[in-house]
Homo-oligomer: A and B are copies of this chain.
Amino acid sequence: MGIRVAVAGASGYAGGELLRLLAGHPEFDLVAATAHTQAGARVSAVHPQLAGLDLTLAETGPATLADADLVFLALPHGQSAALAAQLPAGVRVVDLGADHRLADAAAWTRYYGGTHAGAWTYGLPELPGARAAIAGSERVAATGCYAAATSLALAPLIAAGAVEPADVVVVASSGTSGAGRAAKVNLLGSEVMGDLTPYKVGAHQHVPEIKQATGATGLSFTPVLAPMPRGILATVTARPTGSADAREVLAAAYADAPFVHLLPEGAWPHTAATLGSNSCHLQVATDVDSGRVIVTSAIDNLGKGAAGQAVQCANLMFDLPETTGLSVFGVAP
């Protein structure tokens, strides 16, 4: 008898990827998946890639979730805090949403609106000390997709004093699944194929999360929507301090991390190489003209940026090897 697991918000893209990962997980038993407007539908009718999975979506609520040992929340921001508050102590919870990520309540209110529900353990296992903190927590807020790609590139450099935290410039492009599954004209295939477009320029809600996770004190962050279903490529630039070599810092930081790969010199990250995996591919260079350190980082936004990250955290919470049920390798081409 394995660990009983439920997914709330299973009709979206992150929810679907969670179901896929959980269906193949050797220790977690998927016992319930819930949704709101899609409640009552077969999972395979909502997620055609899960044809053969014998499960029906239940209505999201504590009644359908409280019986599980572990609950994943893949809900819009604002909703997960309300639901989590109704789950009994003892049920471990991993929230894929933003409600519990920020320690700074004022920052939360400024970017998301409403009242801050309080911070949980931040779920990016590769940050210093994070594995132990996650393993000892009953409630974990898994990192967001842009924050995952950016923080893995940047956090060790700031922590080691290799780059200045006050002048970080990030441009990050995401596949369309990062924008969710709501039916919107600007997300139609006809509109996004062949197109690159920036959005929320100047004030993206992930800025405070990235600053918190990395220690950056000044951050310019520009997100771009890219014509592909999945993947984030973050280009992170900062001024070197001269006190440490960026490559050596990254190599040391991830020497024992199974999912973070600092590529050999001359190889560049490809988002496609991370598809379906929980891996992050990094490369670092120094700009000959400006002298800036440039770290490029590729992840699958639904993998290391969402569902994979959440499962990795859950593995730690249940003392399982962190790679259990997750793939290091991407599905390419």
B residues less than 8 Å from A207 (CB atoms):
288-289
B residues less than 8 Å from A332 (CB atoms):
16, 47-49, 229
Q: Does A80 contact B (CB under 8 A)?
A: no
B residues less than 8 Å from A176 (CB atoms):
188-190, 193
Q: Give the complex CA separation of A224 and B122 in angstroms.
A: 31
Q: Contact between B20 and A331 (Cβ–Cβ < 8 Å)?
A: yes
Q: Contact between B190 and A289 (Cβ–Cβ < 8 Å)?
A: no
A163 to chain B, nearest CB (A): 13
Select which of B50, B177, B233, B279 is within 8 A of A333 by beta carbon.
Answer: B177
Q: Does A298 contact B (CB under 8 A)?
A: yes
Select which of B171, B196, B267 is within 8 A of A45 by beta carbon.
Answer: B267
Q: Does A228 contact B (CB under 8 A)?
A: yes
Q: Does A90 contact B (CB under 8 A)?
A: no
Chain A contacts to B: CB under 8 angstroms:
13, 16, 20, 23-24, 42, 45, 47-53, 167-169, 171, 173, 175-177, 179, 181-185, 187-199, 201-203, 207, 211, 218-222, 224, 226-231, 233, 235, 237, 258, 261, 263-264, 267-277, 279, 281, 283, 285-292, 294, 296, 298, 327-333
B residues less than 8 Å from A182 (CB atoms):
185
Number of this chain's copies in the assembly equals: 4
Q: Contact between A198 and B233 (Cβ–Cβ < 8 Å)?
A: yes
Q: Give the complex CA separation of A176 and B296 in angstroms.
A: 19
Select which of B20, B197, B263 is within 8 A of A329 by beta carbon.
Answer: B20
Q: If A202-B287, A329-B52 touch, does A190 touch B233 (CB 8 Å cutoff)?
A: no
Q: Contact between B270 and A197 (Cβ–Cβ < 8 Å)?
A: yes
Select which of B173, B187, B203, B222 is within 8 A of A296 by beta carbon.
Answer: B222
Q: Contact between A283 and B201 (Cβ–Cβ < 8 Å)?
A: yes
List 27 A-B pairs, Cβ < 8 Å: A13-B333, A24-B327, A24-B329, A45-B264, A45-B267, A48-B270, A51-B281, A171-B171, A171-B222, A175-B190, A175-B194, A177-B333, A181-B190, A183-B188, A190-B229, A192-B193, A193-B272, A194-B271, A196-B231, A197-B268, A198-B269, A207-B289, A218-B289, A219-B289, A220-B237, A224-B235, A227-B227
